[in-house]
């Protein structure tokens, strides 16, 4: 199978890194022929002479261009092959309009952890995508992380939970590290301790049949230190703040 990338930024490069572990042939096309050759040379791939030549040659086109460039770039192209888009805010209906086609269309939403092949990726399809193409699409997204198939109406919520939430997680880690520094640790020590604990806690949750609530109960002992800290977090409104942040993120996404 030949898979072509139009636009090869950081996210597309991360996806290509995962996809190179499969047996598919990969072609790339950048903003110019010179740029395409430079990208191809750096990634050990083949460059197409133009966006249109890439479309004509491959079996699936993956759009890695920025959403604000879609109108200008796609207007000059004739699409004859299935298209996968990773652009935030570009719906399947909008993609069909821009490609002027009744082609199979796929929308994905990876997150920044694709850079370490651990992306949490949302995926949805239009009605023209066959079962075989769905299998291929999942193979692509699974090559750089974990895939969640969901209805397109839920993409804004997914984006908040998977796309924006790493920033909120980093804020939590940073706050915990500051507490460690406040109480005598170096910043490096505190960050290492908190980061490893967050990683291990997430892995424990994935491996366990327990819910987060069950695991919290297992950590808390009557009259102990953990329940005292948890009560303070509830008093200062952690749960409400997190839910409010996600709601605000979703509301903002719907306005874009």
Residue numbers belonging to the annotated binding site: 6-11
Query: Cβ(44)–Cβ(75) under 8 Å?
Result: no
Tokens at residue 163, please? Answer: 């796309």
Instruction: Provide, for the chain, the percentages of residues in helix, strand and coil under a 3-state DSSP scheme, each rounded to the nearest 5.
Output: 60, 15, 25
Residue 87 φ/ψ, nearest 5 degrees: -80, 130
Query: Residue 142: how many CA atoms within 13 Å on its side-chain side?
Result: 8
Distances (CA, A) of 87 to 11, 73, 206: 10, 13, 29
Tokens at residue 85, please? Answer: 């888009």
Question: Residues comprising the binding site for NADP(+)?
Answer: 6-11
CA-angle at 208, arms to 174 and 114, nearest 5°: 50
| CA 166/CA 176 separation, integer angstroms | 15
Query: Cβ(93)–Cβ(19) under 8 Å?
Result: no
């Amino acid at each position: 199978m030949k898979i072509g990338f139009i636009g090869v930024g950081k996210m597309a490069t991360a996806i290509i890194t995962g996809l190179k572990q499969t047996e598919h042939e990969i072609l790339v096309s950048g903003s110019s022929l010179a740029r395409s050759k430079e990208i191809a040379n750096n990634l050990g791939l083949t460059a197409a002479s133009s966006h249109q030549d890439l479309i004509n040659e491959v079996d699936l086109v993956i759009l890695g261009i920025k959403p604000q460039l879609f109108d200008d770039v796609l207007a000059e192209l004739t699409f004859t092959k299935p298209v996968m888009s990773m652009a935030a805010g570009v719906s399947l209906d909008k993609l069909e309009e821009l490609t002027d086609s009744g082609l199979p269309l796929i929308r994905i939403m990876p997150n920044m952890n694709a850079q370490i092949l651990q992306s949490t990726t949302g995926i949805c399809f239009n009605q023209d995508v066959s079962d075989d193409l769905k299998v291929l699409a999942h193979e692509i997204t699974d090559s750089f992380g974990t895939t969640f198939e969901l209805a397109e109406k839920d993409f804004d919520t997914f984006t908040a939970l998977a796309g924006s939430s790493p920033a909120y997680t980093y804020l939590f880690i940073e706050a915990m590290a500051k507490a460690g520094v406040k109480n005598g640790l170096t910043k490096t020590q505190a960050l290492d301790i908190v980061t490893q604990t967050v990683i291990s806690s997430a892995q424990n949750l994935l491996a366990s049949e327990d819910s987060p609530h069950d695991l919290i109960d297992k950590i808390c002992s009557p009259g102990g230190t953990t329940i005292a800290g948890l009560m303070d977090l509830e008093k200062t409104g952690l749960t409400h703040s997190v839910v409010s942040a996600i709601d605000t993120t979703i509301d903002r996404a719907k306005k874009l």
